Amino acid sequence: LRFGEIKEGVVRHDGKRSDGYLEHIFKHAAKELFGMDVKEITYKALKNKDFQEVTLEKDGETVLRFAAAYGFRNIQNMVLKLKKGKFLYHFVEVLACPGGCLNGKGQTQTEDGKPDKALLSQMEDVYAAIPVRLPEANVYVQKMYQDWLEGMDSRKVQETLHTKYSAVNQTASNLDIKW
């Protein structure tokens, strides 16, 4: 497979804005883990519009809890909660830019450096008009799994794409960042 030969139009992932893959991963996890087909997800703003939560309930119990943390202030708060053991999330999407990628530095600013909300709104509309294609439906991704990774559930997939995390005890040093 030579990716230089790919000639296709621009596609996007699930979601209303240019953010990461939270919506796609949430819907996929709901289907794979709980057999639930989620069409629309609802974000719940917590402390501010750039720290939001998405949950999935089954039989009155919350079974999935995802968060979107955009901007360094929200990332710092998330890390503090994690350190204190008060972290309830199964997945967190972290983006440095408040408001998501389309609101990144140099993207939607007037000449005097202030946010241009009208331009941001226009960009979000243009992005939303791009057709959605799920990663698993991409013929090139399927070919990569078949030819290089030896199938969807192969040993090579487990070794190449999966990882495990475990707690690491580190000694403090002067180079540690204090959040």
How many other C-beta atoms can be found within 10 angstroms of the C-beta atom of residue 122?
Answer: 13
Report pLDDT for 17.
Answer: 59
Q: Where are the domains of the chain?
A: 15-108, 133-163
What does the pLDDT read at residue 46? 86
- Burial string for 15-24 (b: 16+ CB within 10 Å, else e) reads bebbbbebbb
The one-character DSSP state at 131 is: P
Partnered with residue 64 across adjacent β-strands are 56
pLDDT at 1: 41
Buried/exposed 76-110: b ≥16 CB within 10 Å, e otherwise:
ebbeeeeeeeeeebeebbebebbbbbbbeeebbee
Contact 127, 11 (CB under 8 A): no
Q: Is 54 exposed, middle or buried (0-12, 13-18, 19+ CB in 10 A)?
A: buried
Q: What is the pLDDT of residue 83?
A: 87
Mean pLDDT by 10 residues, the chain (179 residues): 54 62 90 93 87 94 93 88 87 82 65 77 80 77 89 90 74 57
Residue 33 has a pLDDT of 94
pLDDT at 20: 64
Give the integer Cα–Cα distance in Å for 22 and 15.
8
Tokens of 86: 């008060």
**pTM of the predicted model, to two decimals?**
0.67
CATH architecture, domain 15-108: 3-Layer(aba) Sandwich (3.40)
φ/ψ of 82, rounded to 5, equals -60, -45
| % of residues, the chain, pLDDT over 90 | 22
